[in-house]
Amino acid sequence: MMKDLKSSARKAALAAREAAHATAHSAAHSAAHSATKTAPANRHLLAAIGPARGRIIAGFLPIRTEIDPLPAMAALHASGARVCVPVMAGAGQPLDFREWTPDCPLIEGPFGVKIPAQGDWLVPDTLIVPLVAFDAHLNRLGYGGGFYDRSLERLRKAAPTRAIGFAYGAQELPLIPQEPTDQPLDALVTENGLTESGSTESGPTESGSTESGPTENAPTENAPTENAPLAAPDAAP
C-alpha cells in the first residue's frame, strides 16, 4: 500500500517537475541564459546556507529535469567552502561525497551519474538535496532508492547535519506518504523563497530578510573535516 501511494505521488510530481523545468528553460538560448532562469532559486539557496568559508557543503550535479544548483555551488566554492557531490557506492548503501570544483573533470560513475574524476572524500555539514516532491511539512519524496535517507541517517548519527531540499515550487504535493526510515528536511528552497522547519505554516519567505532570514544550524567548531568516507555504522540503515 505505501509503495503504491509513493509511486502515484512520484508519477504526479515528476510530471509537474517536467512542466516547471520546461517553462524555466523554454526561452533559453545558451547555458548562461538558462542559468538566469533559476537565478532566484539559487539566490535563496545561498541565503539559506549562510556564511560559507570553512564549511563542507554537498551539492549535486543535476540530471534530467532537476533544478540546477550549479550557480550556487560555484559561488560557495568561490566564498571559501569545500563543495562535494554524492557518489553512489552501490544499491542499498549510503552515499559517499567527493570534492567538486567548477572546473574539475567529470567521469561517468555508478548508474550513469557524472562524478568528479578525482578529489578528496569529504563529510558535509550541509546537504543540498534533490527531490521529486515535497510537502508543507518538509517531507521529501525521492526516486525510491533510499540513498539520501540512508546517508542522512548515517551523517546525523555522527554530527548535526542540515538538509536543504532544492526544487521547483510546482513539485509541492499536499502530503507525502512517510515511512519510519524517511529523513526529514530542515529547510526547502524554491524559486519562491525559503521554508524552514518550524515555519511551514506561513509558507516560503523571501531570503535575505534580517527578521526572518535563516539561522545557521550547522556548527563550525565541531563540523566534520575528515577527508575519507564516513565509516558505516554497525547496524545497517
CATH number of the domain that residue 90 is part of: 3.40.50.10420
The mean predicted confidence, pLDDT, of the chain is: 81
Assigned domain for 207 exists: no
Q: What is the mean pLDDT of residues 37-64?
A: 94
Closest CA to 131 of 170, 82, 88, 76: 170
Question: CA 205 from chain center: how many Å?
Answer: 19
Residue 32 or 199, more confident: 199
Per-residue model confidence (pLDDT) at position 46:
98
The helix (run of H) or strand (run of E) holding residue 75 is: helix 70-78
Query: What distance in Å separates the CA atoms of residue 143 and residue 128, rounded to the nearest whole number?
Result: 16
Tell me the percentage of the chain whose pLDDT exceeds 70. 76
Assigned domain for 97 exists: yes
140-141 and 187-190: which strand pairing? unpaired
pLDDT in tens, 159-189: 999 999 999 999 999 999 888 999 999 999 9
What's the domain range around 52? 2-202
Domain total of the chain: 1
Assigned domain for 234 exists: no
pLDDT in tens, 75-105: 999 999 999 999 998 888 999 999 999 999 9
Assigned domain for 222 exists: no
What is the model's pTM? 0.78
Alpha helices (runs of H) in 125-217, residue ranges in sequence order: 147-158
Q: Sign of the CA dihedral 58, 145, 16, 204?
A: negative
Residue 9 or 223, more confident: 9
Residue 32 scores a pLDDT above 90: no
Assigned domain for 7 exists: yes
Q: What is the mean pLDDT of residues 142-157?
A: 95
Residue 207 scores a pLDDT above 80: no
Tell me the percentage of the chain whose pLDDT exceeds 90. 58
Assigned domain for 115 exists: yes
Assigned domain for 120 exists: yes
Query: What distance in Å separates the CA atoms of residue 74 and residue 151, rounded to the nearest whole number?
Result: 23
Residue 27 or 163, more confident: 163
